Amino acid sequence: MNNENPPRADQYGSIVAVAGLLALIAGFVFSPKDAYPSYLTGFLFWIGLTLGCLPLLMIHNLTGGKWGFPMRPFWNAGLGTLPLMTLLVVPLFCGLKYLYPWAGLAFSQGAEVIRQRAIYLNTPGMVVRAVVSFAVWIGLARLLVWRSMRRSGEADRARSRTDLISGLGLVLFAVVTSFAFIDWLMAVEPAWYSSIFPAIVLVGQILCALAFGIFYGLPKFYKRPDSGELLNQVSNLLLAFVLMWTYLSISQIIIIYAGNLPHEIGWYLRRTRGGWLWLGLSLAVFQFGLPFVLLLFRGVKKSRYMLITITLMQLVAQAIATFWYTAPAYRHVLRLRWTDPVAFFGIGLAWLLIFRRQARREPGISS
């Protein structure tokens, strides 16, 4: 059963993914003003899920503990999609003039800000920073994952090297990824700036990857005799990142509200009008409210179905958050375009196909 079904499923999935990506290419040609923003939203979610696996691996390397081992193979497989995401960043460079005001997109305000920041917001600079970012991410993934490092019976020197790479790598990852999301996400509205926003995005990535790892790792958790203790630990970690994401998000709102500056509040005004407020409220409920309440109960932390529900809720909420961060910069009213599901599921299906292929190579994972 496991020998034939996955390849057949992969074949069907490949056909659908190729069809979706071809439809997206048609959108780039015939409706670029819709297709490129949709592509940016889909790309940001899936690259976020990929990158979120990296700090979790480094955190587990530094802290140790049994809680991370059932999820590590899935985080390793998630990082195996980095070459795909490296390839998929190229269309963003082809559509810069449809995405960013500094690259040619019409923008009603902030022209002076764009001129002042032209030394940073320019095409060569963005390309160079993207190349550096992917080089750092791939380098860290190679050092931590792709260079086979034995977890059991590992020599002290090798373990010390892993700890050193993880400690320095966490700092380097935070800096490089923050600049990447300033380029790709904050620059869609160059008149707005928030020093907290990159941290919000980073924590959202980690939260998404943790939920993804718990979802796929649940069967491995329940095979262990100490499953109750381990599920309690990972659920507490999930709750901690939920609270961190909420704290950062509320802090940003309070600071901007207290400042009451036009170039700052405009970002929130665009996301609370034209129907966008409902998406923001859904994030408050599904990315914070419900998970916070549910994860307070120990019985919920041991329930397979409740954990599946909570982790899927987090993945969906993160997809909504990415859409809410991005789309209002291009649309005054909440409205789905045909390119939105095509871009999201086209990239996502390709991502999942690569993930499944990488997962089958990980020891201890049955496909």
pLDDT of residue 56: 95
Contact yes or no for 57/75 (Cβ under 8 A): yes
pLDDT of residue 333: 92
pLDDT of residue 250: 95
pLDDT of residue 202: 96
pLDDT of residue 111: 66
This prediction's pTM: 0.92
pLDDT of residue 346: 92
pLDDT of residue 109: 55
pLDDT of residue 153: 45
pLDDT of residue 101: 86
Sketch the domain layout of the chain as residue ranges. 5-361
| Ranges of the chain whose pLDDT falls below 50 | 1-4, 148-153, 367
**pLDDT tens per residue, range 110-152:** 567 777 778 888 899 999 999 999 999 999 999 888 664 444 4
